[in-house]
Structure 1
Amino acid sequence: MKNILFALLVRPVILFILGLNIRRKHKLPDKGPCVIIANHNSHLDTLVLMSLFRGKSFAKVRPVAAGDYFMKNKFLAFFSTKVMNIIPIERKMTRDFRGMFKPVLEALDDDGIIILFPEGSRGEAEQLSKYKSGIYYLMREKPEVPIVPLFIHGLGKALPKGSFVFVPFFDIFVGDKFFYTDNRNDFMVEMNERMDALQKEGQFSEW
């Protein structure tokens, strides 16, 4: 059902109405397990990232999303679970990171392609917010799983936080994969540097 509903309801909007240009598409994984990380500026970010995958790989795509938001009513819960196939996570303070990420870890065990936004909630258009360290604790449980960084450039202008106005055409920059390192500061620094480099590449492409 997920493949059919997504193909009918979502993919045409992403590909033909908004427009999409992928830089270094060959660096996208064609199978899991892996974790895709990206900046988060728009209501459409998750759907756009899902549209990058096809066939068997698409069936394994599992976005991580806030359960308190995406499961708050029947319509949104249906769309989130039947079309997007999200992994709902409760946003709360806890030291039991393994417990919180249990459904994500189970999806990775099933060769899942996990979509994760380290910023947490949506930020301002085209601006990177401060990363939360949750991804460090997730990857600590799966250090062998590759992390693929992406930067979505321009989509924050298409449907930014607080807006419902479409502005077409945007780019996605795919970076080199990297892996967990057993030092939280080093890991967060490396992730920041990789995302900053992709952001600058997107700004350069406008010149």
Structure 2
Amino acid sequence: MKTVLRYIWFQVLIKPLVLVVLGLNIRDRSRLHKHKQMILVANHNSHLDTMVLMSLFPFKRIQETRPVAATDYFYKSRLRRWFADNIIQIVPVQREIRSVRLDPLASCSQALKKGQSLILYPEGTRGEPEKLENFKTGIAHLSKRFPEIPVVPIFCHGLGKALPKGDFLLVPFYCDIFIGPPIYWQGNRNTFMKSLNQTMQGLAEQGNFKPWD
């Protein structure tokens, strides 16, 4: 039953909505199909981000791809938690770890060990439309644990205008998705983060977009 509901949500509702209303322009989409398992790393400006990124895959791959999301937001109510666990199938993480004994990346590691792919937003929260914030180093620690899994950077442009933070009304807006080359753990956290940040900045500059008014 859950599989049927997920199919209806992504294939019947989300994909047509994304294709018809948003009109995505996807650059280098073939990079998503070169690896069986990935950690997708993207900027985060809208609730649409996860829906759009998951819609880039066929349904079989959607079943194997899980977005990392904060429990303090998605577990606020029973309905929201049910939707997060059963339809989107998030990997729940706590943004504030109060005990040094707890591993904040435990749930992510468990999902990767099962062969699943992740969608991760290293900025930590939704920011201003298309304005890149500093990435947190959790992605470097995760890549160090799984150096054989490619980290694929993705820059999303326009989604923060189509459905801004705090809004619930979708505005038709032409959006661009830039998919970068894979990055692997290079043996050093600072080197890895520098490479990731530079790649993301390069993707953001590809469209030569003017700042939002």
Amino acid at match of 2:148: E
Deviates more, 1:4-13 or 1:129-138: 4-13
> Equivalent residues in 2 for 1:9-48 (5 A)?
9-29=13-33, 32-48=36-52
> Equivalent residues in 2 for 1:62-141 (5 A)?
62-93=66-97, 95=100, 99-141=103-145
The aligned residue for residue 197 of structure 1 is: 202
CA displacement at 1:136 relative to structure 2: 1.0
In 2: Cα distance, 1:8 partner to 1:31 partner:
26
The aligned residue for residue 62 of structure 2 is: 58
Amino acid at match of 2:133: S
Structure 1: gaps spanning 5 or more residues: none
In 1: Cα distance, 2:87 partner to 2:53 partner:
14
> Equivalent residues in 2 for 1:120-199 (5 A)?
120-165=124-169, 166-199=171-204
Do the aligned residues in 2 keep the contact of 1:34 with 1:111 (CA within 8 Å)?
no
CA displacement at 1:198 relative to structure 2: 0.2
In 1: Cα distance, 2:101 partner to 2:20 partner:
43
Do the aligned residues in 2 keep the contact of 1:32 with 1:108 (CA within 8 Å)?
no
Amino acid at match of 1:178: I
Structure 2: gaps spanning 5 or more residues: none
In 2: Cα distance, 1:91 partner to 1:120 partner:
8
Relative to 1, partners in 2 of residues 1:86 and 1:150: Cα closer, same or farther, differing over 3 Å? same
> What's the CA shift string for 1:27-58, capped at 9, x where partnerless?
11365321000010112101110100113212
SS in 1 for 2:33: coil
> What's the CA shift string for 1:86-132, capped at 9, x where partnerless?
111011146557x3222211221222111000101001001001111
Q: Work out the number of aligned pairs and report it.
A: 205
Percent identical: 43
In 2: Cα distance, 1:109 partner to 1:33 partner:
10
SS in 1 for 2:67: strand
In 2: Cα distance, 1:30 partner to 1:75 partner:
36
In 1: Cα distance, 2:172 partner to 2:161 partner:
7
In 1: Cα distance, 2:25 partner to 2:100 partner:
40
> What's the CA shift string for 1:123-176, capped at 9, x where partnerless?
100100111111111111111110111110111111121233413220101110
Kindly report the root-mean-square deviation, in angstroms, between the aligned alpha carbons of the 2 structures: 1.9
Relative to 1, partners in 2 of residues 1:39 and 1:46: Cα closer, same or farther, differing over 3 Å? same
